[in-house]
Amino acid sequence: MDFTSRAIAYCRPGFEKDLAAEFAAKCAKSGVAGQSHSTPDCGFVLHEFDAPLEEAQRVVAYDQLVFARQLIWVRETIDDLPEKDRLTPLMAAIGRLHGRFGRVWAETPDTNEAKTLSSFFKRFMPILESALHDNKRLFDRPDAPNLHLFFTSPKRVFIGTSDPSQASPWPMGIARLRMPREAPSRSTLKLAEAFFGLLSEDERKSSLRAGLKAVDLGAAPGGWTWQFAHRGLLVTAIDNGTMAESVRATGMVEHIRADGFVWKPPRPVEWMVCDMVEQPSRVAQLVAEWVASGRCRRTMFNLKLPMKKRHEALEQARNLIYRRMSVSGRDWTLRFKHLYHDREEITGYLAATK
């Protein structure tokens, strides 16, 4: 079969099968034939569609692929890039693409082997960017398409594009966040990334305002609680464990020693977050009940997925949430993403929209 369009999705090494399963499910639902290619721990999936580019883009989108860090549409491939003159063949390939670009990124899979190209990128990218500016192919427009040079080896590069509204805002899809000095654990970075990766700008402005109330189930030592407290939200931290002094010192936190699966708020709150180590089906039922019953308006949560059945566990959790919310009488939205700061877990966002 001759495939007519191709996409590459980046992922955490080891999650290629889960990402390929998502591509397969999307193609099966739409009736479009396709085929995925990857090797274990390579950090990406190349998927070919038996459909024109415009149709393939309707089949799958970045925000619909849970295990994708980034999604690009392949326009050109160079399989034998010469070491002494990389600029000429790259400019020739880019010259065959239409339009202009808002930014250009040189990227690799997130593997130790591929990271050896980073020193080359530092030397080469200013030269390429200058050439693109001289040819009027690069201009300062945040809504213009992104140009991606995805190197899988020093000689092989996929040249692709992405729509900024349907792509990760970070090179390689990796959120480079600084660990706050006052935060008590690195788990705080998961929630910080989730705020940018799963919420729109309008949602962040409306839901992370000072004075709103949040509940953190399984809060200790307080990494997620800190994210709310330092934004000025009032947090009720539920955990039988001890909260870190830096979290208590904010003056924004009430610590209640209780079981997160049992405790209920006396009044509705804006947020409930949950990073408890528990079966994903149990967490899914818990967060769905909080939103469906009106205890909270929105929730961010982690699902700890079993290594050999990640995709199946995700679909089971999704179905449990769908079933509970479908009888709630509320309009709602549900999103999932395997964030850079996640490991074997994925992060979910569930919110009542009315």
Express each pLDDT in 133-179 by its tens digit.
Answer: 999 999 988 899 999 999 999 999 999 999 999 999 999 999 989 99
- pLDDT given for residue 308 in this prediction: 86
pLDDT at position 345 over 90: yes
pLDDT at position 46 over 70: yes
pLDDT at position 203 over 70: yes
Active-site amino acid positions: 304
CB distance 36 to 18 below 8 Å: no
CB distance 13 to 67 below 8 Å: no
The CATH number given to 5-173 is 3.30.2300.20
pTM for the predicted model, two decimal places: 0.92
- pLDDT given for residue 61 in this prediction: 95
Average pLDDT over residues 291-317: 95
pLDDT at position 305 over 90: yes
Q: Parse the chain into domains and list their residue ranges.
A: 5-173, 188-352
Candidates 3.30.70.980, 3.40.630.40, 3.40.50.150, 3.40.30.10; CATH matching 188-352: 3.40.50.150
pLDDT at position 62 over 80: yes
Q: Which of 271, 251, 85, 123 has its CA nearest to residue 182?
A: 251
314 three-class SS: helix
Express each pLDDT in 239-274 by its tens digit.
Answer: 999 999 999 999 999 999 999 999 999 999 999 999
- pLDDT given for residue 354 in this prediction: 78
User: In what side-by-side order are the strands of the sheet with 146-151?
Assistant: 34-37, 44-49, 5-10, 70-78, 157-162, 146-151, 103-107
Report long-range pairs for 18-25 (Cβ below 8 Å, ≥24 apart). 18/66, 18/67, 18/310, 18/311, 19/45, 19/65, 19/67, 19/68, 20/45, 20/47, 21/311, 22/64, 22/65, 22/66, 22/67, 22/68, 22/311, 23/47, 23/60, 23/65
In the chain, pLDDT over 70 holds for what percent of residues? 99
pLDDT at position 44 over 70: yes
